[in-house]
Structure formats: C-alpha cells, structure tokens
Amino acid sequence: MYDYDFFVIGAGSGGVRASRMAATYGAKVGLAEDYRVGGTCVIRGCVPKKLFVYASEYAAHFKDSAGFGWSEAEHSFDWKILKANKDTEIDRLEGLYGKNLDNHNVEVIKARGKMLDKHTIELTDASGSRTITADKILIATGAWPSFPDIPGIEHAISSNEVFEFEQLPKKITVVGGGYIAVEMAGIFNGLGVETSLLYRGEEILRGFDLEIRAKLREEMIKKGIDVRIHTNVDEIIPSGDEYLLKLSDGNETVTDCVMYATGRQANTSGIGLEEIGVELKDNGEIIVDKYYKSSVDNIFAVGDVIGGMQLTPIAIKEGAALTATQFNDTPTFVNYDHIPTAIFSQPPIGTVGLSEEDAREKYGDDLQVFRSEYKSMKFTLAGRDERSLIKLLVDGKTDKVIGAHMIGPDSAEIIQGIAIALKVGATKAQFDDTVAVHPSSAEEFVLMK
Ligand code: NDP
C-alpha cells in the first residue's frame, strides 16, 4: 500500500488540473510545491503580465481620447500602486486555487519533492525532510528562464524579476524576439520606460506568419521602441548604476537594466529523475509517450517540462487527459492541431493554423491567401497611426481554411472564435456565408474576397 494513489510534483497549471481531476475520479492525491500554488501562469506569467499590459495601454488610450472630444488631463503613473494591486490580485487567485484543491481533498504540501525511487518521494521544507510513497507520480515542474553563457550574464534579469520590481528602470534593454520579449517590450514602453529590443535573427517571432511578424516590428518601432534585428549582446559590463552592452554588430549601448527572454529550460535537474531511470531529452525535457507516460511506467509528466508548445491551456489539457487515462479508464491525449495562441504585444496578435510560409510548403500552388489591411475605426478619430492586418490561408483544393492570423486590437478575443471554425474544418465558402458583425474588426474575417 502506498501513502497516495497519485502524487504530483509542481502546482502549476498542469499539476493543479491533474491533481484536482484525479481526486474527482476518487484517487487519494497529494501535491508538493516549494513556492506558490499557481505556477508560472498565475504567479509570474500570463496573469500578472496581462494586468501589466492593461496598465501600459492607458498612455495611448489617454492620447486617443482627445480626438473624441476629451480634453487631456494631467496623467501620472505610479508603479507602486500597480505592483501592490497586482500582488493583491495574485494573492487572491492563489487563494482560490488553494481553496479549490482543498475542496477536492487534494493534500497540498509546501515542500520540494525529489524522487528517491519510482514510488518514493523525499519532501523537503525549512523544517527538514521526510518521505512519502505513491502509486502513480506526475512531474509537472514546468520550466525556468534560460540565459546564454556570455560574459556578465549574471547582471541580467528575466521576466520573473520584473514582477517584483520595486521601481521601474528609466531605460531597459530586452534581449530575445519571442513571446516574452515582445510582450515585455510593449509593457515597458507603454509605462514610459525607454525601451530597446535586441533580436539576433532576421525577424522577431520566428515560427509565426512572416507578414504578421514584420507588421509587429513596424508598429513597435512606430510606438517608440528601438527594435534592432541581427543584433545580440556579446558582453554585459557594469558601469556605475548602468550597464554597458557590447553588441554583436560592433556597437555599444548603455542601459539601466538588461532583461533576457531567450527561452525556457525544463525544470528537471536535482529532482532525482535520471537517477531512477526517467529518460530526458538533451535539453532536459522529459520524454513521454502520447499518454504522458515517461520511460518509468508509473511516472508521468505534463506541461512545460515535456516541451512542445509551452502554453497554459496545453498543460491544463494534458493534465486532464492524463488523469482521464489513468483514473477514469478513458485513454485520452491532446490533439495538438489547430492550437490558437495570442501574443499580448502592442498591437496584439492572434493566430491559429499554418503560417503562409508553412502553408506554401505544404500546399504549394493550391494555397490561396486572402489579406486585409485596414485602420481600426477607433483610430480614425483618435488619429493614431496604427494599422491592422488579417490573413486567411485556404487550401484551394478543398476550400478549407488552414490558417488565420490577425494583428490589431482585440486579436486575442477574436481568434478564439476563428479557432473553432478551423477546428471543425470550416471552408472559405462557409466563412463567406457567415453574416458579418458590423461594424467590427472581426467582420473582416468573413468579408475577404
Ligand atoms: P521563445 O522561445 O518564444 O523565444 C525565445 C527568443 O529568444 C527567440 O527569439 C530566440 O531567437 C531568442 N534566443 C534564444 N536563444 C538565444 C540566445 N542565446 N541569444 C539571443 N537570443 C536567443 O521564448 P520566451 O522566453 O519568449 O517564452 C517562453 C515560452 O513561454 C514561449 O515559447 C511561449 O510558449 C510561452 N509564453 C506564452 C505567452 C502567451 O501565450 N502569450 C506569453 C509568454 C510566454 P531565435 O528565434 O533566433 O531562436
């Protein structure tokens, strides 16, 4: 007999969902977390990030309001108020997560878990260590920001520290061109920080539709962000209260703060996995089969720790699929096709399906591209120089829509509905047959000729 039917290490999106579902199916469940319940998404990711995005958009909203007859009042921004209110909201959400787990009889243990053998876990907290045993074990330890090995990298921060800033820097340099880099650059810029973004490649947001990527860079530059492509940092040298950055293009720049957003590394070291035979990829991610089983038959893994798309809804779905398979006799796995995603850049991006480049490779001459570039109605009176872009990609042979991309206000909200259409295999004719919601930006999706 084991102490638990199911023991989960890591109380992030995947771990919380899996433990709650397993308990619903009747399992005795324990959950170890050495930090706060909620994981990256709730504590230092999606949720506080989005609150900061809202905060940072006000500067532009205030400016826009003049064209609608509002006289510009005096505005000032107080980071301390935003940070305190963000902290209160995150505390509230963490409390709700805890309550929910409690209501489902999941025993939450504030400790760090380490595998001793395939059924035994050592739990360590400030008061010492103890061991527990479990029949099935889930590793849902997520991922952590990774930094390149360059001289002076110890002076750089990740987005984690931004959520704890006591005050905003005057000047910041963001390194990277992925989700976090573009989102954070938008936040800093909106809050009045002099912001640079350095990206080593040809165009930010590799993997997304090229035209959308180029559009975002153009709009970020218009908003005042110093976006530099083909530029990386070779060395960070502290200089008084500032940092001198030696750049790969031979230039130098001085900044108050350097934030790296150069990807995330699976949290798999120091928790005894390899010692008990759990196979890892070269980059540290846990290798699992399609039912999230590792190379050890009672140990499973979901979420960022297995790689793939590091997105909260994916971790949640994987956690739910795993527990349906293991505790409800219903073999289930996640279908990774047509996963919509939003980037809360400014302007935001919503996307689902293939990029034009990938679609061209797969469908060749059968690919049909529909695009619409326009100025949002709100920006006409506002006088804001910002344009939106919507693209639909269609397989000419079947008329099926295989990709939908949008950059512009409300993209994240709009793409969710479009994703359902792609998921059920909607054709361009069916898009065209759908009555427009007027006047809206979303209607562009059904009006493209
Ligand atoms: P990403 O993988 O999105 O981007 C990493 C960026 O860093 C890329 O531009 C990459 O360049 C660059 N990079 C990698 N290594 C180096 C290096 N050694 N030197 C310079 N640049 C480098 O990672 P993020 O950290 O932005 O985000 C992690 C994950 O979190 C994302 O993949 C996403 O899944 C998730 N996330 C999702 C959000 C959302 O849903 N809105 C928001 C934030 C995060 P290159 O392209 O050349 O490889």
pLDDT of residue 73: 74
CA of residue 317 to ligand 1 center, whole Å? 22
- Which residue from 262, 314, 339 has its CB within 8 A of the most atoms of ligand 1, so it is best to mutate? 262
Domain assignment present for residue 334? The answer is: no
Torsion, Cα 230 174 219 48, to 10 degrees, reads: 150
Q: Is 438 assigned a catalytic role?
A: yes
Is the full-model pTM beyond 0.95?
yes
Angle at 438 between CA 433 and CA 443, to 5 degrees: 50
Q: How far apart are CA 2 and CA 28, in angstroms?
A: 10
Bridge partners, residue 27, by sequence? none
Query: How many Å lie between the centroid of ligand 1 and the Cα of residue 350?
Result: 17
Alpha-carbon distances of 352 from 76, 238, 381, rounded to whole Å: 38, 42, 31
Same domain for 288 and 364: no
Query: For residue 371, is it within any domain?
Result: yes
Ligand 1 mutation target, pool 13, 200, 305, 415, most atoms within 8 A of CB: 200
Query: Over 80: is that where the pLDDT of 135 sits?
Result: yes
Q: Please give all residues whose beta carbon lies within 6 A of any atom in ligand 1, as ranges.
A: 148, 175-181, 183, 199-201, 206, 232, 261-264, 309-311, 341-344
Q: What is the pLDDT of residue 72?
A: 72
Strands (E), 18-126: 29-32, 107-109, 112-117, 120-125
| Closest-lying ligand 1 atom to the alpha carbon of residue 201 | 47
For residue 269, give both structure tokens: 């070291």
Rounded CA separation 356/405 (Å): 9
- Beta bridge partners of residue 136, listed in sequence order: 6
pLDDT tens across 280-326, in order? Answer: 999 999 999 999 999 999 999 999 999 999 999 999 999 999 999 99
Q: Which of 119, 155, 230, 438 is catalytic?
A: 438
Supply the DSSP string of 175-190, one letter for each residue. E--SHHHHHHHHHHHH
Protein residue whose Cα sits closest to atom 39 of ligand 1? 343
Number of Cβ within 10 Å of residue 396's Cβ equals 13
Of all atoms in ligand 1, which is nearest to the CA of residue 312? 40
Q: Is residue 411 part of a domain?
A: yes
How far apart are the C-alpha atoms of 28 and 19, rounded to whole Å? 9
Written as six digits, the tokens of 276 are 């008990």
Q: Based on the domain organization, do 49 and 102 belong to the same domain?
A: yes
User: Is pLDDT of 391 > 90?
Assistant: yes
Domain with 183 in it: 153-262
Sequential DSSP letters for 315-367: HHHHHHHHHHHHHSS-------TT--EEE--SS-EEEEE--HHHHHHHHGGGE
The ligand 1 atom at the shortest distance from the C-alpha of residue 262 is 7
CATH of the domain at 226: 3.50.50.60
Q: What does the pLDDT read at residue 379?
A: 97
Residue-wise pLDDT for 334-365, tens only, equals 999 999 999 999 999 999 999 999 999 999 99
Q: Mean pLDDT over residues 419-424, rounded?
A: 98
CATH of the domain at 394: 3.30.390.30
Q: For residue 302, give the H/E element and its range.
A: none
Could you tell me how many helices (H) and strands (E) the chain has, helices first? 12, 21
Quote the mean pLDDT of the chain: 97
Gap between the Cα atoms of 147 and 97, Å rounded: 31
**Among residues 223, 242, 262, which one ends one of the domains?**
262
Question: What's residue 409's pLDDT?
Answer: 98
Q: What's the mean pLDDT in 228-236?
A: 98
Counting the structural domains of the chain, the total is 3
Both tokens assigned to 400: 């099926």
Protein residue whose Cα sits closest to atom 28 of ligand 1: 263
For the chain, helix, strand, coil in percent to 5 are 35, 25, 40
